[in-house]
């Protein structure tokens, strides 16, 4: 067994090896011990109570080292730690977590396996140009991930063994998916709006870059501050990456070498300190000054900037926000969805902003729980007329990004197993009404989705929902929803009507404050840990799930959970709370 068994295309690298892959569920019998063949990370690392503390200490040391070196190089003394947090996140957390994961993976096999395989002889890879590019490579690129693994292997063992042949390597270039970070700006209304009202809103005291709300609520929120809304996507447009590659300076190995430090003692911390400047996106090194000059021409000068995610991947918004923070402006990050389960970026929002607006209650000083100002209760049709059962999936990328979430494909495998368990013994009158909802990844072809790929191969008559518009229509007609991941889709479904959650508790680290409520959800048959027990409940309540959903004891637990994970005040009360919060910042 090798490290590459964590990768999805197992047979491509080791075609003769006996191993379980994503598509082995057509077998009559399934050994569940094999199913979790590489889950040592869950048992030995994630369950360590001091894991968050250890990781935070490591990340802090790397961050401080980066800031000192980069401030010295760019001569930007006004860029404080918060500015650099905005600039470097989420790239820094993802980069450290990926190397952290691979470090433990390699050392695990170092103890377990005698014949340890190395990988392709990739001398070097040019670093990405920004956070979005880095994320695409991290999630999808064989070459990038094998390069990181190979370099770690060489660091730990030295160059001792033969490498795999080039023929096993998928060297197709990664096509960047920029739609989330850089939305298109072909909207005629927005162009006309900006042409007419630019002089009025250019001096807004607050920039509300909150996209997960309706236009009406966006107008109302801005009107409370006697200002017109700004459509920020118009000013932080889709970059032409071909032009960025052309205009940006190439990686300068000699200049980066001046930033390197060499450490004799071998450790993960020293490895990261020694290699991180080889992997830093060029926007932080060679093209830092160029990008700063671009955003200086954006004339907004608000006192407060509020965003629900654009600062993560939009190159220009990220740099503009950091520049404004350096000038003394306040920055507020708002959740664009709910991830009340603890994960690796547990406090990234709080670390990267003056204030963090959360869906759920979070006991940190600069964190506040405000009501959700987007519509979540979406199942509007008379429940007696509803007839669908929707199974809502999530989807992991090919390679790992977050250590505290499940490794490659184990969650995908788990979800397929759950769905198969349900299909085996679900009542016949329900089976034809089942729909599988995939993760809404924009511009991601259906055949690239591992869950749909499996079902397209094995269940030709399965109803797969592959776009949001279709999902909304079916969702309104849903009698009961089954969610396979405790994220935003689960909260939206939970607020809309009868819903159950099926999750592998080893895949998620539950915050201490949610342990008790999860126990109560389990007792009330809202939370399950396997498909078979959930199936029994679905068959039992299917004829009238509303009756079960509104039982007094169920209702009380639901309200308790709802108060913890989201505030659902009416629209006017919600907008009033939001405006009161921001007025205190002016």
* SS3 state at 436: strand
Q: Are 61 and 92 spatial neighbours (Cβ–Cβ below 8 Å)?
A: no
- Output 82 or 532, whichever has higher pLDDT: 82
- The H or E element that residue 536 is part of is helix 531-541
**Is the predicted pLDDT of residue 49 greater than 90, yes or no?**
no
The two structure tokens encoding residue 428: 């016949």
CA angle 174–180–184, rounded 5-degree value? 100
- Return mean pLDDT, the chain: 78
> Tell me: the pLDDT tens digits for 1-22?
334 333 333 333 333 333 333 2
Contacts for 152 with CB less than 8 Å, ≥ 6 apart: 99, 102, 103, 106, 271
To 5 degrees, how large is the angle CA 311–CA 197–CA 325? 30
Contact 403, 493 (CB under 8 A): no
Measure the CA–CA gap between 12 and 25, rounded to whole angstroms.
19
Return the closest-CA partner of residue 229 out of 202, 248, 191: 202
Q: Considering only the C-alpha atoms of the chain, give the largest distance between any 2 of them, rounded to a whole number of Å.
A: 70
Using one digit for the tens of pLDDT, what is the confidence trace for 475-488? 888 899 999 988 88
pLDDT at 233 over 60: yes
* Cα angle 128-130-132, degrees, rounded to a multiple of 5: 100
pLDDT tens digits, one per residue of 264-301 = 889 999 999 999 999 999 999 988 988 898 888 888 89
Tell me how far CA of residue 482 lies from CA of 41, 64, 105, 124, 133, in angstroms: 27, 44, 33, 45, 34
Mapping DSSP to helix (H, G, I), strand (E, B) and coil, where does residue 62 land?
helix
What does the radius of gyration of the chain's CA atoms come to, in whole angstroms? 25
Residue with tokens 């669908």: 388
- Which residue(s) pair with 208 in the sheet? 306
- Better-scored residue on pLDDT, 30 or 59: 59
Q: What is residue 5's predicted lDDT score, i.e. its pLDDT?
A: 36
Digit-coded pLDDT (tens) for 348-368? 888 899 999 998 888 778 889
10 Å CB burial of residue 112 (0-12, 13-18, 19+) is exposed
Place of tokens 């919060």: 581
pLDDT digits (tens, 9 = 90+) for 396-414: 676 776 665 555 556 777 7
Tell me how far apart the alpha carbons of residues 133 and 131 are, in angstroms, rounded to a whole number. Answer: 5
Token match 């060297």: residue?
A: 171
Helical (H) or strand (E) element with 123: none
Distance between first and last Cα of the chain:
59
- This prediction has a pTM of 0.86
Residue 483, SS3 per DSSP: strand
**Range with lowest mean pLDDT among 160-169, 231-240, 252-261, 511-520:** 160-169
User: Contact at 8 Å (CB) between 369 and 358?
Assistant: yes
CA gap 322, 352 in Å, rounded: 10
What pLDDT score was predicted for residue 303? 96
Both tokens of 133, joined, read 């590019």
Query: Which of the four pLDDT bands, split at 50, 70 and 90, describes residue 383?
Result: low
Q: Which pLDDT score, from 0 to 100, does residue 252 have?
A: 79
Name the percent of the chain in helix, strand, coil, to the closest 5.
Answer: 50, 10, 40
Percent pLDDT > 70 in the chain is 74
Q: Could you give the 3-state DSSP secondary structure of residue 351?
A: helix
Please tell me the distance from the alpha carbon of residue 347 to that of residue 405, in angstroms, as a whole number: 15
DSSP letter at 280 equals: S
Which pLDDT belongs to residue 175?
52
For 411-463, the pLDDT digits (tens) are: 777 788 888 888 888 998 898 888 888 776 544 544 455 565 666 555 556 78
- The number of beta carbons lying within 10 Å of the beta carbon of residue 376 is 16
Cβ atoms 241, 178 nearer than 8 A: yes
Q: Is the pLDDT of residue 169 over 70?
A: no
Gap between the Cα atoms of 555 and 546, Å rounded: 11
Residues 103, 338: Cα–Cα separation, whole Å = 30
311 within 8 A of 321, measured Cβ to Cβ: yes
Would you list the domain boundaries of the chain? Answer: 3-28+36-177+249-286, 188-237+291-375+570-583, 383-565
Supply the DSSP string of 191-217, one letter for each residue.
HHHHHHHHHHHTT-SEEEE--SS-HHH
Each residue's pLDDT tens digit, 564-575? 888 877 888 889
Q: Reply yes or no on domain 383-565 having CATH 3.30.460.80.
A: no
Tell me the C-alpha distance between 268 and 156, whole Å. 10
Eight-class DSSP state of 586:
-
**How many helices (H) and strands (E) would you count in the chain?**
27, 11
In contact, 538 and 482? CB cutoff 8 Å: yes
Q: What is the pLDDT of residues 301-350, one digit of tens each?
A: 999 999 998 888 888 899 999 999 999 999 999 988 777 776 555 678 88
Count Cβ atoms below 10 Å from residue 527 Cβ, excluding itself: 22
> Interior CA angle at 343 toward 337 and 344, to 5°?
115
- 206 burial via Cβ count (<10 Å: 0-12, 13-18, 19+): buried
Q: How many Å apart are CA 307 and CA 312, to the nearest integer? A: 10
Residue 22: per-residue pLDDT: 27
497-550, pLDDT tens digit by residue?
Answer: 899 999 887 777 777 788 899 999 999 999 999 888 999 999 999 999 999 999
């Amino acid at each position: 067994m090798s490290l590459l068994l964590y990768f999805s295309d197992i047979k491509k690298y080791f075609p003769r090896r006996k191993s379980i892959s994503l598509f082995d569920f057509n077998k009559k019998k399934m050994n569940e011990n094999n199913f979790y063949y590489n889950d040592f990370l869950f048992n030995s690392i994630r369950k360590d109570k001091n894991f968050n503390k250890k990781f935070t200490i490591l990340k802090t040391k790397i961050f401080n080292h980066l800031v000192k070196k980069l401030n010295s190089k760019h001569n930007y003394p006004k860029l404080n730690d918060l500015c650099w947090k905005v600039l470097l996140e989420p790239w820094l957390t993802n980069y450290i977590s990926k190397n952290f994961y691979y470090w433990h993976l390699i050392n695990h096999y170092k103890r377990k396996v005698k014949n340890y395989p190395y990988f392709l002889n990739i001398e070097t890879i040019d670093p990405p140009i920004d956070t979005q590019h880095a994320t695409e490579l991290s999630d999808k690129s064989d070459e990038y991930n094998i390069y990181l693994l190979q370099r770690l292997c060489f660091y730990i063992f030295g160059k001792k063994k033969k490498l795999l042949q080039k023929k096993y390597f998928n060297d197709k270039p990664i096509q960047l998916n920029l739609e989330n970070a850089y939305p298109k700006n072909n909207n005629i209304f927005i162009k006309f709006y900006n042409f007419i009202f630019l002089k009025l809103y250019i001096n807004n005291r607050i920039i509300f870059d909150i996209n997960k709300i309706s236009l009406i609520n966006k107008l109302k929120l801005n009107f409370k501050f006697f200002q017109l809304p700004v459509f920020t996507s118009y000013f932080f447009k889709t970059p032409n990456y071909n032009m960025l590659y052309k205009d940006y300076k190439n990686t300068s190995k000699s200049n980066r070498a001046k930033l390197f430090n060499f450490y004799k003692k071998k450790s993960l911390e020293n490895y990261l300190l020694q290699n991180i400047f080889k992997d830093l996106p060029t926007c932080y090194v060679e093209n830092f000054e160029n990008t700063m000059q671009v955003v200086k021409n954006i004339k907004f000068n608000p006192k407060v900037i509020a965003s629900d995610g654009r600062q993560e991947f939009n190159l220009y918004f990220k740099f503009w926000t950091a520049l404004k923070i350096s000038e003394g402006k306040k920055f507020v990050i708002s959740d664009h969805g709910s991830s009340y389960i603890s994960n690796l970026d547990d406090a990234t929002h709080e670390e990267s902003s003056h204030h963090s607006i959360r869906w759920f209650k979070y006991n940190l000083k600069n964190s506040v729980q405000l009501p959700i100002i987007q519509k979540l209760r979406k199942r509007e049709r008379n429940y007696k007329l509803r007839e669908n059962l929707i199974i809502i999936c999530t989807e992991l990328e090919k390679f790992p990004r977050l250590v505290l979430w499940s490794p490659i494909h184990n969650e995908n495998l788990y979800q397929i197993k759950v769905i198969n368990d349900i299909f085996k013994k679900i009542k016949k009158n329900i089976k034809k009404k089942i729909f599988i909802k995939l993760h809404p990844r924009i511009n991601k072809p259906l055949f690239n989705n591992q869950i749909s790929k499996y079902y397209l191969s094995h269940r030709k008559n399965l109803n797969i929902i592959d776009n949001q518009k279709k999902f909304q229509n079916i969702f309104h007609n849903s009698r009961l929803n089954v969610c396979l991941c405790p994220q935003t889709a689960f909260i939206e479904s939970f607020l809309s009507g009868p819903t159950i959650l099926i999750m592998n508790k080893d895949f998620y680290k539950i915050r201490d404050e949610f342990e008790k409520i999860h126990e109560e959800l389990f007792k009330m048959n809202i939370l399950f840990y396997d498909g078979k027990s959930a199936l029994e409940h679905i068959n039992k309540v299917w004829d009238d799930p509303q009756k079960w959903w509104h039982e007094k004891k169920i209702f009380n637990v639901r309200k308790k959970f709802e108060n913890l994970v989201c505030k659902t005040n009416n629209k006017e009360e919600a907008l009033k709370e939001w405006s009161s919060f921001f007025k205190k910042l002016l």
